[in-house]
Structure 1
């Protein structure tokens, strides 16, 4: 029958999930440490676990000599043959030591070593389990809340949801269930630190993976995702099958699938955008629900100027620039949105001349243009008072502006006389969207809110 120690090792290994051999090695190390603590460090020791009898055996090795000079490392031939009749001079003889006489202090030391080694082994088991779950969604229960964040009980371990990884205005209480994205698993002195996030774009992606079977099966793919947590998000999707609508698959019957995601994100609005290989069409889809009339592409600078009807300008830009900002991050293109009226003005030489002035912004140039000041000559003739009202600048700035106008007018350039390179400059490529018969972004994209 197995001894009590052997059964205890098997039980701890089973309950704590620690490798049995690791426990045995820990126990052997602890006994060796206790013996050295009691008798000193000069012993040549070997401590092993006897599987057959289920007990720890400790042996002190001594050299068989004719005349003993060091009792801790040497044994006489006479004493050696009393233990082993076949002992000869020069042999290494293992003498069994009793572990029962270690004493209270040594036993306590052994206990501390065992406890520490078990904790280290447990931490290693937890780290090995969760390092492979990085990038997954995990469920847990809020254990405590402090200035460092929310501590979450995830079963065998605790995880931390830092303040910066929490959705703004989201409130949790002790005992609440919580879902979060495993952002990182670190090894620190106190054990593995599992860092969670509810703001990461991949949290949104993983939520759709769990809600949309077509994504889990690989029929629909999420190409990109970007969020302003708690407010709005955009994801770009594409289907590998012509029979499956990627937007419709993510939305679900009566919006059931996307609404589950919205509820988990506490009402965060989600725009589901169909991805397109053509960057201009992709940007148009990403700017939904605004209607786009023209896109001017600058491949060298990876930027686009998007022209929209005047009544669509605020919709395209979004509240505090949110719509165009998210679209720019989603498509990885710099996007400048302008109205058709401003775009028409920019094509006129007079308006471009006004923009040469260092202190004049686009908004100021628009106000001047609407007031009938459409060229540098008109600006030079306007009164300082009128310019102060239109530009909302101080008298000193306006007077400096008028000096700059005079300097520009005094410079006589004859651009037509300059020889032009045959190839000419590389102009940005214009692409008409509505005129080319492309569907508007409004019809190409589903927008879902938490309402």
Structure 2
């Protein structure tokens, strides 16, 4: 009987292609579990109350079962039976408390622990942390219940070992393409047989128009290998942008050898994609290499992706130039970069607007993902109208504050002086450098600008606008006055507004929608900071649970 355990371990290891030592360790755990369960039933205890050790001799196959009692400084116990069971399920140590009897006196021992003073009665040399071991007869592993429990544990543990081996084999395969056979498909996704493992293709990682049936061969991209208690550990995708990149690597040798590098990819799976490439060889056209002779390379990728149209774009370190290429096939007239907001305004001819936006906003959305910039598309006429409105507002403000004519106001705007604040940030000599102006005019302009600011400050003081609102990033004197006259005097007043409400309050052209939205969000920032501080205070104020103290012995 003794050698039979080793023979069973060897047979299972050979059948499951795992190490024999792992199978023996699993069998020891099964013996330990079965013996602990039977001993607990005999003593009228819970299995979790006992520490039992099972061991199989690696040479003779003999089984040894021992009961262990740990020597401790203080006898402890789980805070509740529920906590003990939850800790076992979750694979963690349970929360403990000092063990006491019904009268509240500290226990000297329990089924798994004993105080040092009590243990040293029989063994004066024993120390804290060591164990008192008691050999148990093999009857605690015999019997139908024990055998059945051992069988279940062995089956589950061997399955866990197999899954761990699969995980080890595939964890380095994340980011690669695999091929398998469809095993089962349902509403949630598709189970794919990889041979020695199974992979799961979720429904939302499937190209919209494609369907699979049992037995179909499928190719996909491994995007995650995740150990979990149940179900497949390998997750695959046919919609991931990197799947497109890996397909091009297969078709384009220049990508494999590093002559061409893929700088980014964006997809609307099954419909359209954009990929940016860069060549390290000045004599090699990266776009032509990816397209191939008569388009054979890109066509192979398109076929694999169910007809997904792929735009191949040459990457550029210049953000504006790269964006113009990413917006193809639309012709771009002008781009304006706002690096602070990571936003680009793209101006296109009227007849190119639909091409620039694309079907369902596809072209501009993919270009935005590929370049990493937020993109606003407008026509030449819309951009011209917006610029004229903006110039009109700026020139009107300068004309009113400086008491100058429209020609001089527009000249100052053209030179970068968009407000009276800008005039006071430079020296008179810099203003006098503008053609047609001299030092006297420059000095007079600054004097008028200072006077206008002083008058504005007096108006603000009467309006009662708070300093926090005045200091908000993006605020100007004209804007503060306009808000104050409409009753917006605090950050909360501004934060309560919607974008369209704020625009209706202000003179036309003073702010665009993006600027208004940004201003409102800045005014709301202190709300989130206050909520975070309140949560921290609640956590600090929560009293810690203290373990119940045992009453003093009379």
TM range (shorter): 0.5 to 0.7
Q: 8 Å contact 2:326–2:371 — kept in the other structure?
A: yes
When residues 108 and 348 of structure 1 are mapped into structure 2, their CA distance, relative to the original with a 3 A threshold, is closer
1:271 matched to which residue of 2? 311
Q: 8 Å contact 2:239–2:269 — kept in the other structure?
A: yes
1:68 matched to which residue of 2? none
Q: How far apart, CA to CA, are the structure 1 residues paired with 2:150 and 2:241?
A: 49
Aligned counterparts, 1:238-387, within 5 A: 238-348=278-388
Which of residues 408, 411, 414 is equivalent to 2:400?
414
Once the two structures are TM-superposed, the CA of residue 167 in structure 1 deviates from its matched residue by: 1.0
After the TM superposition, which of the residue ranges 35-44 and 266-275 deviates more from structure 2? 35-44
Which of residues 417, 439, 442 is equivalent to 1:424?
417
1:190 matched to which residue of 2? 230
1:58 aligned onto 2:84? no
More helix by share: 2
When residues 95 and 145 of structure 1 are mapped into structure 2, their CA distance, relative to the original with a 3 A threshold, is closer
Structure 1 unaligned spans of 5+: 63-89, 357-408, 428-451
Once the two structures are TM-superposed, the CA of residue 235 in structure 1 deviates from its matched residue by: 0.7
Q: How far apart, CA to CA, are the structure 2 residues paired with 1:61 and 1:272?
A: 70
Which protein has greater RCO, CA pairs closer than 8 Å, 6+ apart? 1
Which of residues 220, 236, 239 is equivalent to 1:180?
220
Output the TM-score relative to the length of structure 1.
0.66
> Alpha-carbon deviations, 1:417-449, whole Å to 9, x = none?
37969862499xxxxxxxxxxxxxxxxxxxxxx
When residues 413 and 212 of structure 1 are mapped into structure 2, their CA distance, relative to the original with a 3 A threshold, is same
1:74 matched to which residue of 2? none
Once the two structures are TM-superposed, the CA of residue 100 in structure 1 deviates from its matched residue by: 11
> Alpha-carbon deviations, 1:174-228, whole Å to 9, x = none?
1111112222233333255332221121111122122222222222111111111
Once the two structures are TM-superposed, the CA of residue 144 in structure 1 deviates from its matched residue by: 1.6
More strand by share: 1
When residues 61 and 270 of structure 1 are mapped into structure 2, their CA distance, relative to the original with a 3 A threshold, is closer
Which of residues 122, 140, 145 is equivalent to 1:105?
145
2:241 matched to which residue of 1? 201
Once the two structures are TM-superposed, the CA of residue 44 in structure 1 deviates from its matched residue by: 8.8
Q: 8 Å contact 2:54–2:65 — kept in the other structure?
A: yes
Q: 8 Å contact 1:126–1:157 — kept in the other structure?
A: yes
Q: How many residues align?
A: 346
When residues 344 and 114 of structure 1 are mapped into structure 2, their CA distance, relative to the original with a 3 A threshold, is closer
Q: How far apart, CA to CA, are the structure 2 residues paired with 1:61 and 1:323?
A: 71
Q: How far apart, CA to CA, are the structure 2 residues paired with 1:341 and 1:182?
A: 47
Once the two structures are TM-superposed, the CA of residue 276 in structure 1 deviates from its matched residue by: 0.4
Q: 8 Å contact 2:36–2:51 — kept in the other structure?
A: no
Q: How far apart, CA to CA, are the structure 1 residues paired with 2:343 and 2:35?
A: 74
1:434 matched to which residue of 2? none
1:48 aligned onto 2:55? yes
Q: How far apart, CA to CA, are the structure 1 residues paired with 2:331 and 2:39?
A: 87
Q: 8 Å contact 2:333–2:348 — kept in the other structure?
A: yes
Q: How far apart, CA to CA, are the structure 2 residues paired with 1:93 and 1:299?
A: 71
Q: 8 Å contact 1:126–1:192 — kept in the other structure?
A: no
DSSP 3-state at the match of 2:170:
helix
After the TM superposition, which of the residue ranges 333-342 and 243-252 deviates more from structure 2? 333-342
Q: How far apart, CA to CA, are the structure 2 residues paired with 1:60 and 1:300?
A: 70
Q: 8 Å contact 2:179–2:219 — kept in the other structure?
A: yes
Once the two structures are TM-superposed, the CA of residue 93 in structure 1 deviates from its matched residue by: 9.9
Once the two structures are TM-superposed, the CA of residue 134 in structure 1 deviates from its matched residue by: 2.4
DSSP 3-state at the match of 1:336:
strand
Q: How far apart, CA to CA, are the structure 2 residues paired with 1:271 and 1:220?
A: 16
Once the two structures are TM-superposed, the CA of residue 284 in structure 1 deviates from its matched residue by: 1.1
Q: 8 Å contact 1:137–1:181 — kept in the other structure?
A: yes
2:169 matched to which residue of 1? 129
Q: 8 Å contact 1:38–1:102 — kept in the other structure?
A: no
